[in-house]
């Protein structure tokens, strides 16, 4: 399996809608960050489905090292995680 690529040093703020499903890019290669565009093909990495239970702003991980994928947990603030 190929390691994910850091797409951003900060999270992606997205207004999600209740009842909708979103597929978060786990590989970091998507040109449609933070969402999957199929660029993970051949990497062994697959997108993670996020189901919005309510309409609100959420912060999707951009550095790809969050312990709470697909959402940001602040890991981007720890430079040693961002190799």
Residues of the domain holding 44: 1-83
> Which pLDDT tens digit goes with each residue over 46-68?
999 999 999 999 999 999 999 99
* Overall domain count for the chain: 1
**Mean pLDDT in the chain?**
93
What confidence score (pLDDT) does residue 81 get?
Answer: 54
DSSP string, 13-57: EEEE-TT-EEEE-SSS--SSTTB--STTTTTT---EEEE-SSSEE
Q: What gap in Å lies between CA 43 and CA 47, rounded to an integer? A: 11
Q: What gap in Å lies between CA 5 and CA 27, rounded to an integer? A: 6
> Which pLDDT tens digit goes with each residue over 3-38?
999 999 999 999 999 999 999 999 999 999 999 999
CB 25 within 8 A of CB 37: yes
What confidence score (pLDDT) does residue 76 get?
Answer: 87
Q: Is the pLDDT of residue 69 over 80?
A: yes
């Amino acid at each position: 399996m190929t390691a994910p690529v850091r797409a951003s040093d900060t999270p992606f703020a997205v207004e999600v809608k209740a009842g909708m499903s979103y597929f978060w890019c786990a590989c970091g290669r998507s040109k449609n960050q933070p969402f999957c565009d199929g660029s993970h093909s051949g990497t062994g990495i697959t997108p993670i489905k996020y189901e919005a239970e309510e309409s609100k702003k959420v912060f999707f991980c951009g550095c790809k090292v969050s312990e709470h994928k697909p959402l940001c947990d602040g890991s981007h603030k720890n430079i040693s995680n961002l190799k």
